[in-house]
Amino acid sequence: MQASFAACTPIEGANLVTAGELKMSTNPTLPPLQYVDGEGQLKGMRIELGEEIAKRLCLKPDYTRIEFSAMVPGLQGGRWDMINTGIFFTPARAKIMYLIPYESQAISVSVAPADSGKIAKVEDLAGKSVGVEIGGFEETTIRKISKELEAKGLKPVDIHTFDNFTVAFQALRAQQVSAVISIDAVAADYQHKGMFKQVLSGIDPTPVAIAFKDAHLADATAKVLNQMNADGSLPALFNKYGAKMITGTFSVQGPHS
């Protein structure tokens, strides 16, 4: 994306993994927000956003493709500077790393086109086999739903965890599970492609964040996001991908905030 600014602003005081670079982790299995195209290149809204953040901080973007379950340990261990994979904001996560909520997402349920009439409400998930990526907010959400169903006297959800959403949707295509839980944008993209039906959406809307170990880098990134919002480039990026920004000023929430 093209930025409408005169010059980049170097970070002062940030402890970067590699000087002059912004190392980011991503799990490119969530089209259209983060994915790999037919030529093996990283694409998507979050990828473009990370590249623009790096550019405005006078840094070279460098992505590591890795499963979500390894991202927080990798951040804490100094393998990358920033988690740029759409990590859901939770107070517990804000106690161990610096988060900037910037995107609003909710949870969807996808099924095979032939099964689109079998799930019309959350209660219809009772007793169903449901696939989900391991370790994320989506897994937490479906486990919470399962407990709520049991409390109502219904059967629990038969939850199957997978390393990433690509594998989860492959399992759905192979009829190994009856449904997959993912974020709204991913479910909508698969439906647009005619691959699966998005039968439920808007479940448990929650802010999505980017995450940092270094407070100075987080503060500088928040300034970049507010700059991008003011010059119109951030809303344009979100509109391009049909994503939804949070309202208000972008700010850091972390261990000392």
Distance, in Å, from the CA atom of 112 to the CA atom of 91, rounded to the nearest integer, reads 35
3-state secondary structure of 173: helix
State residue 257's pLDDT score: 61
State residue 7's pLDDT score: 76
3-state secondary structure of 77: coil
The string of pLDDT tens digits covering residues 115-168 is: 999 999 999 999 999 999 999 999 999 999 999 999 999 999 999 999 999 999
Report the percentage of the chain scoring pLDDT > 70. 97
Same fold, 21-104+206-245 and 106-205: yes
State residue 2's pLDDT score: 42
State residue 256's pLDDT score: 75
The string of pLDDT tens digits covering residues 165-208 is: 999 999 999 999 999 999 999 999 999 999 999 999 999 999 99
* Separate counts of helices (H) and strands (E) for the chain: 7, 12
Confidence tier at 1 by pLDDT (50, 70, 90): very low
Spell out the residues 6+ positions from residue 188 whose beta carbon is closer than 8 angstroms to its own. Answer: 108, 198, 201, 242
Which amino acid would we find at residue 141?
T
Distance, in Å, from the CA atom of 23 to the CA atom of 217, rounded to the nearest integer, reads 12
Q: Which class in CATH covers the domain with range 106-205?
A: alpha beta
State residue 227's pLDDT score: 97
pLDDT mean over 13-38? 95
pTM: 0.85
Contact status, residue 245 vs residue 238, Cβ threshold 8 Å: yes
Could you state, in order of their start, the residue ranges of all structural domains in the chain? Answer: 21-104+206-245, 106-205
State residue 13's pLDDT score: 85
State residue 6's pLDDT score: 47
| Residue 111, CA distances (Å) to 33, 97, 119, 180 in order | 20, 35, 8, 7
Contact status, residue 238 vs residue 225, Cβ threshold 8 Å: no
Contact status, residue 164 vs residue 131, Cβ threshold 8 Å: no
The string of pLDDT tens digits covering residues 75-103 is: 999 999 999 999 999 999 999 999 999 99
Whether CATH 3.50.30.60 fits 21-104+206-245:
no
Tokens of 195: 């691959």
